[in-house]
Amino acid sequence: MSEPYDRWHKSRPATGEKKCTTHNKVPSRSHGQGKRWLARWRDYDGNQLSESFDKYDDAKKHLSKVESSVNDGTYISKEKGDTLIQSLAEQWLADLIFRNPRTEPHYIARVQRYIIEPLGHIKVKDLIPSRIVSWIKNLLLSIGEAYAGLIYTHLNSILTMAVDDDLIAKNPCASRSVQRVKPRRQRKAAKDLPIDWEASEGIKENLPDRYKPTVDCGRGLGMRQGEIFGFSPDDVNWHQEDKVVHIRRQIAHDRGTMVFAPPKGGSDDDPKDRIVPLGDDLANILIEHTRQFPPVEVTLPWIERNGPPVTVKLIFTSRENKPMNKNYINYLWKAALEEIGIIQAINDRPVGRGRRWEKCRDKMMHALRHLFASEALNEGVDVYTLADLLGHEDPAFTLRRYVHRVARSLDKAREAISRRYRAVP
């Protein structure tokens, strides 16, 4: 093993040279300047590298560590570790492949605001676990845990890339201190339904007539809000006995512009469309609605704001025959929740003109998808079929996120077990 080099004294002094009184050695030209002990080693390519230390023992420990890492293939040069987090993050973004062009601006905005702005000036070698823990705590103070969990996965991926590129030896996100505080990506599903069937009836009753059947599309077809807004009468086989709805589009937003797009996660190559059965009762509700409010043809770009124009006849439009505005509908929805006593307003301003309510994210229109899922399971639909109806690739995700206790479920369980006992002679 190599020995640290003494910068302050000559290793081969000439005969008769005067020694210093402090160390009893012949001083060099660097005597008393900078750090005394120089650790010198060679990297994989044979290049000599060095680092200075005040103490011999520190230099010796560093040499031992470096030479060991060179021998076992885990050595990382100091220069590579000087790479800034900003450079890594920008490279990570540049290497991503987005099937949906609307996704890219969201990634860029998240990484810029929550990773590059607070951490971009730090060298990757200096991003130690304690710094990440502080970053996570500050993140949780400003945004919800699920969103913070998404940002954390981005940083974790960036640092994994740094490990793969031999910029650092290990990912600091893998440390126990970070793992203890890392935010959960998914919110834990509530045991009870946020909106049960009776509450959904109350919401429907307090919505304007032209929007009432949106409740039925959510609780009866499992549609997301954007899919309800993009629902067309042409998506239904009205004249067949076994009616179905072909859910094949949503209204989404690309940098502030409304667009038609495939359902969530879909693209032109893999649209993620799905087929959902339509009962006669719900079909009659939709038929009556289209008689009262005839569908309107709407033209929007496809997938992105500069995409080709697509014209679709929509079941639900605004009073001005325009695409549904989610902000306005959400105002009406919260007003309906207030009317049936589920939430309370926190000011006295009119609905749609600045009225505000207590937090109720779990009780918005998406809660109807949870109602659809839980009622379907309660009535005996298997989880694999339900996952297909909801557009989930993983049935386990369906169980984790969309299953809640519903009314009568305990009675059904009691009766099911009792039937088994009654079947025994």
Question: In which residue ranges of the chain is CATH 1.10.150 found?
Answer: 85-181
CATH of domain 85-181: 1.10.150
pLDDT above 80 for 94: yes
This model's pTM is above 0.95 = no
Facing residues of 52 across strands?
Answer: 38
Q: Which fold has domain 197-402?
A: hpI Integrase; Chain A (1.10.443)
d(CA 206, CA 199): 11
How high does pLDDT run on average in the chain? 90
Residue range 118-175, pLDDT digits in tens: 999 999 999 999 999 999 999 999 998 989 999 999 999 999 999 988 888 899 999 9
Burial degree of 237 (CB within 10 A; 0-12, 13-18, 19+): middle
Question: In which residue ranges of the chain is CATH 1.10.443.10 found?
Answer: 197-402
The H or E element containing residue 254 is strand 250-254
Torsion sign across C-alpha atoms 383, 384, 386, 392: positive
Asked which of 66-80, 213-227, 241-255 is least confident by mean pLDDT, the reply is 66-80
Alpha helices, DSSP H, located in 293-382: 326-339, 367-378
Q: How many residues does the chain have?
A: 425
> Mapping DSSP to helix (H, G, I), strand (E, B) and coil, where does residue 297 land?
strand
- Taking the CA atoms of residue 371, residue 377, residue 381 and residue 383 in that order, the dihedral angle to the nearest 10 degrees is 100
- DSSP letter for 57, please: H
d(CA 329, CA 15): 94
- Residue 38 has φ and ψ, to the nearest 5°, of -110, 120
- Residue 358 has φ and ψ, to the nearest 5°, of -65, 160
Residue range 171-205, pLDDT digits in tens: 999 999 999 999 988 766 667 889 999 999 999 99
On whether the CB atoms of residues 282 and 299 are closer than 8 A, the answer is no
- 5-6 and 37-42: which strand pairing? antiparallel
